[in-house]
Amino acid sequence: MLIKKIFQRLSPIQKVLLSFIALILFGSVLLLLPVSTHHGITFVDALFTSTSAVCVTGLIVLDTPVDFTVFGISVILLLVQFGGLGIMTFSLGLLSMFANNLSLKWRFTFQGLYSDFRAIPIRSLLKRIVLYTFIIESVIAAVLFTQFIRDFSFLPALGHAVFHAVSAFCNAGFSTFSDSLIGYGNNPLVILPVSMGVILGGLGFIVLYELRRYPFLRNSSWNSRLSLHSRFVLIITAILILSGTAGFLVLEWNYSLRTMPIWERIQASFFQSITCRTAGFNTVDISLLRQNTLYMMIVLMFIGGSPGSIAGGIKTTTVGVMAMLIYSKFKGARQIVLWNRGLDHDTVDRCTTLIILSMVFVIIASFAVLTIHDFDIHNSFLSAVFEVVSAFGTVGLTMGATGHLSQEGKILICIVMFIGRLGPLTLIMALTSMKKDINIEYPEEHIMIG
């Protein structure tokens, strides 16, 4: 009773944070059990693995298929699934369960976060989220099973298929193969289903909810079929995937891709463009990529997926709003206009704040990693920045720095993963809840800029 009363007194932000911390610690305890590993595991390594799984990041300090038993791998899979159901799912669940106990301020906070979807019943949306997750993961697993059964017996093939299906849709990047998916880089029936799982998981459940109605609304215009949010998400996602594919293909054509056939080069570039934004799978050796390619991947990792999805990063809509803001300023317009709809100034302010604070956090975290641990590896500065952005964007790709982290470095990356997973939404919720209408205006003055 006491715990229940304390939990009810917490704000929605605190409930989200504490629930994810509890899941991470519970996962760490399970991974510390002797039955979870072949040769034992330290508490820091268990904490790192659990944090990476719950935050659907995919960074590892131990080789998942080699060091963990079937039980340990199953624990990681469940942590990925529970963590991957998304912060939006948990916050919607809180709103559904405690709607009558929420203060007026927090009711308006949730309405501000999900303003485009007030007409959708919350309980219905939660049911559909679970249903979509089960259906998509089952279809991906079925396709992957047809390929893995060629190399493994029935149960191992089924295990690999289910694990990669969950990891793909949850944008986790964990793999039961030591080389990730490099061994299946030339198999489109493995690469394409995983790619589709990552894309669908990164779009957000609201977009999936609206897309399901698409075949039944052919007589209506595109504008009326999808909300402004869904249209914006789909366009920005397509732009990022295509530009990332083209960039990777051009930059690595005569380097890491030079020994591949043309179709395989295109497939590898497409796959890395998708996964480096949030998933963390790879079909090429990341440590062999050119520095300009790695720089491009850092930008994509920082952006991440879309709001209300399983993906991390500052989100596609945030970058889209900033791009439209710059475009509007060059046109001399005072308002951002999307499909004959003006974007409210509060959204623009929150996007600007999120980008600035995220960049500051990445800079400070990168400095801290380089300060507490002296990397004895090639391109140590780029490796450290790549590692931090990968953790912040919950991506899971690495240039090899993860294996060189000290105990303090691992804890620091755990903090980065946790903030990268929960920080953006928590920040937006805090900014929304602290919004005040002030009727007093002060005289304006100007300072020199530029």
**Calpha distance 94→226 (Å, rounded):** 26
Q: Strand, helix or coil at 331?
A: helix
Q: Provide the pairing of β-strand 341-342 with 337-338.
A: antiparallel
Neighbours of 297 (CB within 10 A): 27
Question: For 319-360, what is each residue's pLDDT tens digit?
Answer: 999 999 998 888 888 888 888 888 888 788 888 888 988 999
Question: For 381-422, what is each residue's pLDDT tens digit?
Answer: 888 899 999 999 989 898 888 878 888 889 999 999 988 887
Candidates 425, 265, 438; CA nearest to 358 is 425
pLDDT of residue 104: 46
Binned at pLDDT 50, 70 and 90, residue 95 comes out as low
Structure tokens at 35: 């039955």
Residues in contact with 25: Cβ distance below 8 Å, sequence separation at least 6, in sequence order = 47, 50
Q: Which residues pair with 342 in a beta bridge?
A: 337
Which residue would you say has higher pLDDT here, 243 or 105? Answer: 243
Torsion of CA 299, 193, 257, 282, to 10 degrees: 60
Candidates 390, 387, 414, 197; CA nearest to 310 is 197
Binned at pLDDT 50, 70 and 90, residue 162 comes out as very high
Burial of 66 (0-12, 13-18, 19+ CB in 10 A): exposed
Phi, psi values for residue 317, rounded to 5°: -65, -30
Candidates 410, 134, 48; CA nearest to 142 is 134
Structure tokens at 317: 């809509």
Candidates 53, 47, 57, 61; CA nearest to 77 is 53
Q: Which pTM value belongs to this model? A: 0.87
Tokens 């340990």 label which residue?
A: 72
| Half-sphere exposure at residue 250, Cβ-oriented, CA atoms within 13 angstroms | 8
